Structure 1
Amino acid sequence: MIERDARAPGFGVYVHWPFCAAKCPYCDFNSHVRHQPVDQQRFARAFAAELATMRARTGQQCVTSIFLGGGTPSLMKPETVAAVLDAVAANWTITDGAEITLEANPSSVEADRFRGYRAAGVNRVSLGVQALDDRDLKFLGRLHNVAEALHAIGLAREIFPRLSFDLIYARPGQTPEAWQAELEQAIGHAADHLSLYQLTIEEGTPFHALHAARKFSIPDGEHAAELYAVTQEVTAEHGLPAYEISNHARPGAESRHNLTYWRYGEYVGVGPGAHGRFVENGRRVVTIAERMPETWLNLVEAKGHGVTGGEVLSRSEEADEFLLMGLRLAEGIDLARYEALSGRALATARLSILQEEGLVAAIGNSRLRATAAGMIVLDAVVADLAR
C-alpha cells in the first residue's frame, strides 16, 4: 500500500472530454456539440497514446487523483471510462485510495451508466446542477429541471462513496434571502462537498453579447459581495466551510485533485485543450493541447500527442503562480516553499501594509493566508505581494 501525506500536493491526471449535448450560454470552456455519434473507441485509443507520451516526459509518478472533466464526461460510455483509467494505471502507479472523479450533468444521468462508472473505478462524482430553480435553470441554458437534478443527486449518493455538485449564484434578480434558502436546500442534499460560483460574464459567450445589449443584468459589486457573505455564513454554519474561494467541504472531503492545483503540485493534462504542469529535467513545464477535438485526434494519431503550446517557467513565474494558487486556500501558503521557489522572501514592507489593511494574516511563523476581505480582492493582493 502506498501512503500519502495529507498535505502533500500530490500528482494528478486530468482527462478532458470535450463534448456536450448543448453549449451553455455562460460557458467559455473548451466544449463542443456534435450532432453525429462520437467515435469513443478512437478517442480512448488517443487518450492512451497521449498518456504514454506524458509518462515518457514525467517519469514514474504516484498518481493521487484522476479527474475526468469536460465538456460532459457523463456522455462517455462506461467502457470508455474504464479504458482511460486502465491506460493511466498502465503508465504510473496509482496510490491506494486515489480520488477518481467524473463530472456529470443531471440530464445525462442513468442508473446503469452510473453503476458502470463505479465498476470502472470512479469513486467521486461532480454534478453540474447549477441552480435549484427551474426558471433559472432555463435561463442558464441547462437541459435538466430541479426534479431531474435531485434525482441525479440521490442516485449519485447511492452509488458513489463521494459526491459534489455545483451551483451558480449572483444570478439576475437573486436576493440574499432567496440564495440563502436555495443554499440551505442544497446542503440538505449534499453529501460532503459543494462548489459555489458567482455568475461571471465571459467574453465570447452568448451571455456576453446579451449582457452588453442590456438584455439582462447581474448583481453589482456590493450586491455580489453580500451574496458571497451569505455563502460563507450558511456553509460554515452547516459544517461545510470554505477551504478555497468557491469550494466548501466537510473536513476531510476536500477535492484532492483540485488541491493538487492549489497546492502547486504536478499534473498532466490529456485531451483537446487540456493543460498540464509538471517537472521535466528539473524545471516546471506547461503543456497546452490543441483545442479542436478532431484536429487533436489527428495530431495524436500522427505523433502520439496533441500538444501544440507550452513553455518552461522561470523561477519568478513559478513563485507567482504558487502565490496565486495557494492564497485561494484557507490553509494559505508555506512561506519556506515560496522562498525556495523564488529565491527571496516576501517583501516585509508590503506584507506589513497588507496585514494592517486586514487582507492577509500569518498562521504561526510558517504560513500566510488571505483573510475573508483579502479573498474578495485576491488578484490585487497577489499582484502587490509579487512585485
Structure 2
Amino acid sequence: MADDWRNGGFGLYVHWPFCEAKCPYCDFNSHVSRNINEKQWLNSYLGELRRSALETPDRVLNTIFFGGGTPSLMHPDSVAAIIDEARSLWRPANDMEITLEANPGSVEAGRFAAYRDAGVNRISMGVQALNDDDLRRLGRIHTVAEAQAAFDIARTCFDRVSFDLIYARQHQTLAAWRAELTQALSMAVDHLSLYQLTIEDGTAFGDRYAVGKLRGLPEDDSAADMYLATQEICEAHGLPAYEVSNHARPGAESRHNLIYWHYGDYVGIGPGAHGRITLGDRKLATETHLMPNTWLDAVRNGSGERERTELSNQDQAVEYLMMCLRLKEGLYIDRYEALSGSSLPQAKLDDLSAIGIIEQVSGRVIATKDGRAVLNSIIRELLG
C-alpha cells in the first residue's frame, strides 16, 4: 500500500494560530495575542518545512493551504517566504493551488494584492453570515458591508474566491436562510462552504448551551429543512454539492480539501496541525503541539510534532471510508478492500440501498442526496 496516497495527491497545510478575537462557536486551535514575533514564527515554519521535506523527497506538491486562526493577519512577505521555500523543497505541480483563509475585517486592497504577488491564487473568506445582528451574535468583528467590500476586492485580485456561511443560527428561519443563501449566490461566487452551526464543548457557545443560556437554536427538523433547501438552491444556481458541506461550479472545487477527502498525503505544520504521510509501506498520522509557545520551543529542539502514530491497514480503510463517503463521487470498493484486506458487508450495503440512502454504481458506494443528510448513520452501519 506504499503508493495508495497517490490516489489523493500530496499537499501542505500551514496553521497560523492567531486571531484578532476568539469567536464563541469556534473550537479550532486559535489564540488572541497582541505580541507576535513574526520573524521568529517564519523561521520556525521554514525549519519545519525543511524537516518534513527530508522525509518526503521527490514528491509533487499539489496544494498549499494557509489555515487558522486568521492567516490574513500574516505579513505577505512571510507568506511569500513559506511558498518560495515549499517550492524549492518539493516539485511544484504546474497547476498548484495555493489557498489563504481571510477574515473580511483583516484585509484591504493592498494586502490582497500582496498575497497574490506572493503566490496565493485562491482566497477562502470567513464571512459566516450576511446579517449584521447574526454576525454580532457569532462574535464576528466585521459587518456585512465590510464582507461584501472585501469579497469585491478579492475578486479583482484572484480568479478563485470562496466564502463560508453558517446556517441554523439562533432565531434563524428557513425563509431567512433561503433569502440569505440566494443573496450569497448572487455575488458571482464559484465556491461556497456551508456549515450547520454546531455547539462544541469547550467553546463559549458550549458553556452557554450547558446552562440553558443559548436560546433560539432551531429544532432538528428545522435544521434538516435548511440543509435540504441548501442543496436545492445551490444546485439550481449551478453550484451542486461535491462534498457534504461544500458547493462549487464544475472545476472550482477546493483541490486541497479534495486531498483530505480522497485520502492523500499532507504535511501539517504549525500549532495543532495534523498530517498524514506515507513513509515506505507505513502511513503515519502526525500531530503537532497545540500551544503556540510550546510549539515554538519544540521546533527549536528539533521538531514541532507532539506525536506520530502508525496507522494499521484497517485504520486506513476506516479513515478512507469516512472521508470518501462525504464526496458526491463516493468510495471505490476495490480501494477500500485493498486497504482493509476485507470486503464491505454486502448485506448492509443492500439494506442501505433498499431504503435509498446509498447507491452501488460501477464499483463505488455513493451516498444519495437523502443519504448525505444522515451520513454519520451510514458510516456507523457500515463500520458497526
What TM-score comes out, normalization by structure 1 length? 0.96
Partner of 1:150: 148
Q: Deviations over 1:53-88 (max 9, x none)?
A: 111222221011100000000000000100111121
d(CA) in 2 for partners of 1:61 and 1:217? 49
d(CA) in 1 for partners of 2:151 and 2:51? 37
d(CA) in 1 for partners of 2:123 and 2:382? 36
Deviation at 1:10, TM superposition (A): 1.5
Question: Which of 342, 350, 372 pairs up with 2:348?
Answer: 350
- Please tell me whether residue 295 in structure 1 is matched to residue 294 in structure 2: yes
- Please tell me whether residue 181 in structure 1 is matched to residue 179 in structure 2: yes
- Please tell me whether residue 377 in structure 1 is matched to residue 374 in structure 2: yes
Moved more, 193-202 or 217-226: 217-226
SS at match of 1:269: strand
SS at match of 2:186: helix
Q: Is the contact made by 1:196 and 1:246 (CA closer than 8 Å) also made in structure 2?
A: yes
Partner of 1:3: none
Deviation at 1:357, TM superposition (A): 1.8
Deviation at 1:386, TM superposition (A): 2.1
d(CA) in 2 for partners of 1:275 and 1:212? 29
d(CA) in 1 for partners of 2:174 and 2:227? 9
Deviation at 1:325, TM superposition (A): 0.2
d(CA) in 2 for partners of 1:70 and 1:209? 22
d(CA) in 1 for partners of 2:132 and 2:216? 19
Deviation at 1:201, TM superposition (A): 0.2
Question: Which of 190, 196, 212 pairs up with 1:198?
Answer: 196
Partner of 2:91: 93
Question: Which of 357, 360, 377 pairs up with 1:359?
Answer: 357
Q: Deviations over 1:88-123 (max 9, x none)?
A: 112101101110000000000111111110000000
d(CA) in 2 for partners of 1:377 and 1:184? 25
d(CA) in 2 for partners of 1:109 and 1:243? 29
d(CA) in 1 for partners of 2:289 and 2:216? 34
SS at match of 1:103: strand
d(CA) in 2 for partners of 1:191 and 1:351? 37
Q: Is the contact made by 1:165 and 1:190 (CA closer than 8 Å) also made in structure 2?
A: no
d(CA) in 1 for partners of 2:280 and 2:159? 38
d(CA) in 1 for partners of 2:99 and 2:246? 15
- Please tell me whether residue 386 in structure 1 is matched to residue 383 in structure 2: yes
SS at match of 1:240: coil
d(CA) in 2 for partners of 1:367 and 1:314? 23
Q: Is the contact made by 2:7 and 2:263 (CA closer than 8 Å) also made in structure 1?
A: no
Q: Which amino acid aligns with 2:274?
A: H
Q: Which amino acid aligns with 1:15?
A: V
Partner of 1:368: 365
Partner of 2:67: 69
Q: Is the contact made by 1:62 and 1:95 (CA closer than 8 Å) also made in structure 2?
A: yes
* Number of aligned residues: 378
d(CA) in 1 for partners of 2:175 and 2:383? 38
Q: How does 1:79-228 map to 2 (within 5 A)?
A: 79-215=77-213, 216-228=215-227
Partner of 2:37: 39
Q: Which amino acid aligns with 1:382?
A: I
Q: Is the contact made by 1:163 and 1:190 (CA closer than 8 Å) also made in structure 2?
A: no
Deviation at 1:310, TM superposition (A): 2.4
Deviation at 1:8, TM superposition (A): 4.5
Gaps of 5+ in 1: 1-6
After the TM superposition, which segments of 4 or more aligned residues of structure 1 sit over 4 Å from their partners?
none
SS at match of 2:301: helix
Partner of 1:247: 246
Q: Is the contact made by 1:211 and 1:217 (CA closer than 8 Å) also made in structure 2?
A: no
d(CA) in 1 for partners of 2:262 and 2:216? 35
SS at match of 2:12: strand
Gaps of 5+ in 2: 1-5
Q: Is the contact made by 1:10 and 1:265 (CA closer than 8 Å) also made in structure 2?
A: yes
Q: Which amino acid aligns with 1:50?
A: E
d(CA) in 1 for partners of 2:115 and 2:341? 45
Give the CA RMSD over aligned residues: 1.1
d(CA) in 1 for partners of 2:216 and 2:176? 17
SS at match of 1:35: coil
Q: Which amino acid aligns with 2:281?
A: G
Deviation at 1:231, TM superposition (A): 0.4
